Amino acid sequence: MDPDKLELLKTLGPLIALVSILAIGGWIVTTWLRIKNGYPLDGQWGQALHPTRDPGAEQRVEALSSDNAALRSELQAIKQRLATVESIVTDDGVRLSKEIDGLGMTRN
């Protein structure tokens, strides 16, 4: 190989590699952004490939959302009950016995 061509390849080789890596990275970022924001992807010949919608999936998401809301409210109630139990357990015995005696008097 000609030494001039070899020297040109040595100087342009890293530049060509850098441009190639940037082009591939840009394509990956563009594809990720399109997927993230719901835009259609391009097919092999440039046609738009729209993702298919599954009506069963939407129903499952709605069911899971309602289950999630119910579980969150139940968890909140359990947290409140636990806070009450913790306050009873951490109080000193004298105060607790006075409160219990006070509850016994109000019931009679």
Average model confidence (pLDDT) across the chain = 84
- Residue appearing with tokens 């009450």: 84
Please report which confidence band the pLDDT of residue 77 belongs to, taking 50, 70 and 90 as the band edges.
very high
Task: Kindly state whether residues 77 and 37 are assigned to the same domain.
Answer: no
Whether residue 48 is contained in a domain is answered as no
- The two tokens of residue 13 are 């080789």
This prediction's pTM: 0.39
Whether residue 107 is contained in a domain is answered as no
Whether residue 15 is contained in a domain is answered as yes
User: 94: domain range?
Assistant: 54-102
In sign, the C-alpha dihedral spanning 15, 20, 23, 29 is negative
Whether residue 67 is contained in a domain is answered as yes
The pLDDT of residue 57 is 82
Task: Kindly state whether residues 87 and 61 are assigned to the same domain.
Answer: yes
Distances (CA, A) of 47 to 3, 32, 39, 43, 81: 46, 18, 13, 5, 58
Task: Kindly state whether residues 28 and 65 are assigned to the same domain.
Answer: no
Whether residue 47 is contained in a domain is answered as no
